[in-house]
Amino acid sequence: MRYYIAVVHQEGDSAFGVHFPDVPGCFSAADHMDDLLANASEALTLHLEGEALPDARSLDAVRADDEVAHDLAEGAFLLAVPLVQLSGRTTKANITMDAGLLAAVDQYAKSHGLTRSAFLADLARREIAG
């Protein structure tokens, strides 16, 4: 999995702003720190959909960037954000889990208008992306 380093800013009580030095034009925001990683990962995925992937510099290389160093001196922090690339095609997979857990998964998915597969795929994507 490829990761891009994001620079996270916040001024006062405002939302957190996110930008990616290696992905010009890709921005995100979150009102709460708990939502930062998921929102940034989604923005990154949507921004790069169908595009050639830009090189992702290492954490040390991004940290050494003059603009990033300035942001860090102003109170910003860095966040490694996974790029979850969707292929647009599905693949069948067999899984094994406790029968009671599977029944709970099916009940939850059905009550939310989802299939088992859709629920598990969404859960996996959210867990990986933060």
For the stretch 90-117, pLDDT in tens is: 888 899 999 999 999 999 989 989 889 8
Half-sphere exposure of 54 (CA within 13 A, CB side): 16
Contacts of residue 96, Cβ cutoff 8 Å, sequence gap at least 6 = none
**CA torsion 22→5→118→112, rounded to 10°?**
-120
Counting beta carbons within 10 angstroms of the beta carbon of residue 55, is it exposed (0 to 12), middle (13 to 18) or buried (19 or more)? exposed
Please give the biggest Cα pair distance in the chain. 55
- Picking from 37, 35, 31, the residue whose alpha carbon sits closest to that of residue 14 is 31
Confidence of residue 11 (pLDDT cuts 50, 70, 90): confident
Q: Average pLDDT for residues 70-74, to the nearest whole number? A: 96
Q: Give the pLDDT band (50/70/90) at residue 12.
A: confident
Indicate the pTM of the whole model: 0.74
* Joined tokens for residue 124: 């996996």
d(C-alpha 1, C-alpha 84), whole Å: 8
Mean pLDDT of 64-75: 96
Mean pLDDT of 79-86: 88
The sheet with strand 3-9 has its strands ordered as: 27-30, 16-19, 3-9, 77-82
Strand partners, 78: 7
Give yes or no for residue 76 having a pLDDT over 90: yes
Per-residue confidence (pLDDT) for residue 114, from 0 to 100: 86
The residue-averaged pLDDT of 29-34 equals 93
Given a cut of 90, whether residue 36 has pLDDT beyond it is yes
